[in-house]
Amino acid sequence: MTSINRAIPPEIQPIEAFALAKPRRDVLSNSIPVFYFDNPYLDLIHILLQVRTGSMYQPEKHVCNFAFSLLRESSAQFSPQEMSEKLDYYGTNVTVNVGLECVQILISVPKNNISEIVPAVADFITFPEYRTENLRIMQDKEIKNLAYNVQKTDYCSWRIMWREMLGGLFPTVSEFATADTINNLTKSKLKEYHSECFCAENVSIFVTGNLDSHMEDVIRKAWEPIPNGTPSPALPEIPMSVNSGRLFYEPMRNCMQSSIVLCRLSTGYNDNDRTAFSVLNTLTGGYFSSRLMQNLRERQGLTYGISSSSTYFGKQSIFAINSDVNADRTQEALDSCFEELQRLQEKMVSDEELLMVKNYMAGIQLRAADTTVNAMQKFAYWHRFGLDETEMFRYLTNIKKVTPEDIHSLAKKYFSHNNFTQIIVGHYFANEKNE
């Protein structure tokens, strides 16, 4: 038997492009598509409901978050305590994630318990009966969270970003939260919103685990009662010039750090530039060895961390660089960010650095789909943009094709100083002093 020397790492192999397995597809009687990802070794069944709604679609501030976050406490058959005990007894977890244009409800349930618990869960998700006492509890909690958050520079910088980037087209997102906007919610408002948005036309279902015909029948019967209705419309596009080049400063005394955000509207998920721009983003601030991290953290010690990212919605995205920096060196941090953006416009990235970034991105993509649960969630994300399991192959293939010339061209296209809205919360002006 050949012994293995554990002190010698295995040889690194290049990552080859590949496609994920194609899920089985079913369509319920109400036209809801169901995608099955089979895994005979996974007895914890995961059911993901993806609803085409979110804070960009809500008619009033907070209503989407409250309507979906309170579902567990809104069973018509059981009290909140009874429902909580029932979920615990059957080892079931229900989590809700509310996004800009999508709400995800993930149900994790042991295979042997699916018949006992899924119908009850489906009932409170589809036909909730909101309770005043639970609404009041959540309102009090959110008001306390808000009072705490408005004292944090990073929270305040991000809410300014949403206000300025959305250009007035989505006031229920860009409007600042207050105790009044939270207290304005009522049971009837939640019920009306849920009835309008939670219809078969807005729902897609994704399931993974050790599946059989009985479980598929349970799932079918649980979700076919979702009524038909009016699908959510396509989101309007925000003018690309909105607030470009403007500076927004919000002073906050007695803080040791300032929060900075540089942001702009950018490429959509299905745009031709998207893959190459994602490489540019990673190179700029998307991983620990990025240009911004090397400059502001490693060389100058201005911050513990700085990052850049893209948030996709509709046919657009918001690209943002954000960091918490030493308050007395805020201007230095801003100048350093723009120096790195300018350097990418003026000088070609080396083949060696670009290869390292592309290998990192390929590895992250593999890790994001290394289990059937992760693969299902990636597929659900792609499904939002009309894509399927072949997106993995396209993404890995297109990353390899990105050249230094592509990075240089995109940097000149997107990274001009005048394209960025600057947001500073904390200390900025030279004559300000911590008190």
Residue 249, pLDDT score: 94
The whole-chain average pLDDT of the chain stands at: 94
Residue 44, pLDDT score: 97
Lowest-confidence pick of 181-185, 241-245, 418-422: 241-245
* CA torsion, ordered 197, 199, 201, 203, to nearest 10 deg: 90
Residue 433, pLDDT score: 44
Instruction: Answer whether residue 432 shows pLDDT above 60.
Output: no
Instruction: Answer whether residue 312 shows pLDDT above 70.
Output: yes
Q: Where are the alpha helices (DSSP H) in 153-202?
A: 153-165, 171-174, 179-183, 187-197
Domains of the chain: 24-223 (3.30.830.10), 247-426 (3.30.830.10)
Read off φ and ψ for residue 189, nearest 5 degrees.
-65, -40
**Of 274, 286, 284, which Cα lies nearest the Cα of 360?**
286
Residue 1, pLDDT score: 61
Residue 240, pLDDT score: 77
Instruction: Answer whether residue 108 shows pLDDT above 50.
Output: yes
The model's confidence at residue 18, banded by pLDDT at 50, 70 and 90, is confident
The model's confidence at residue 243, banded by pLDDT at 50, 70 and 90, is low
Residue 429, pLDDT score: 56
**Average pLDDT rounded to a whole number, residues 388-404:** 95
Angle between the N-to-C axes of helices 404-414 and 330-346, in degrees from 0 to 180, rounded to the nearest 10? 130
Residue 426, pLDDT score: 93
Instruction: Answer whether residue 168 shows pLDDT above 90.
Output: no
**Pairing, β 421-426 against β 247-251:** parallel
Query: Distance between CA atoms of 263 and 424, rounded to whole angstroms?
Result: 12
**Average pLDDT rounded to a whole number, residues 333-348:** 97
Query: Distance between CA atoms of 238 and 72, rounded to whole angstroms?
Result: 35
The model's confidence at residue 244, banded by pLDDT at 50, 70 and 90, is confident
Instruction: Answer whether residue 239 shows pLDDT above 90.
Output: no
pLDDT digits (tens, 9 = 90+) for 42-84: 999 999 999 999 999 999 999 999 999 999 999 999 999 999 9
**Pairing, β 33-38 against β 203-209:** parallel
**Average pLDDT rounded to a whole number, residues 276-286:** 98
CA atoms within 13 A on the CB side of 73: 15
Residue 190, pLDDT score: 98
**Average pLDDT rounded to a whole number, residues 367-393:** 95
Residue 20, pLDDT score: 85
DSSP 29-85: TT--EEEEEE-TT--EEEEEEEES--TTT-SSTTHHHHHHHTGGG--SSS-HHHHHH
pLDDT digits (tens, 9 = 90+) for 7-16: 888 887 777 7
- Calculate what percentage of the chain has a pLDDT beyond 70: 97
Residue 42, pLDDT score: 97
Both tokens assigned to 290: 């990025």
**Average pLDDT rounded to a whole number, residues 166-180:** 92
**Average pLDDT rounded to a whole number, residues 188-207:** 98
Instruction: Answer whether residue 434 shows pLDDT above 60.
Output: no
Residue 4, pLDDT score: 82
Give the global pTM. 0.93
Residue 86, pLDDT score: 97
Tell me which amino acid residue 346 is: E
The model's confidence at residue 242, banded by pLDDT at 50, 70 and 90, is low
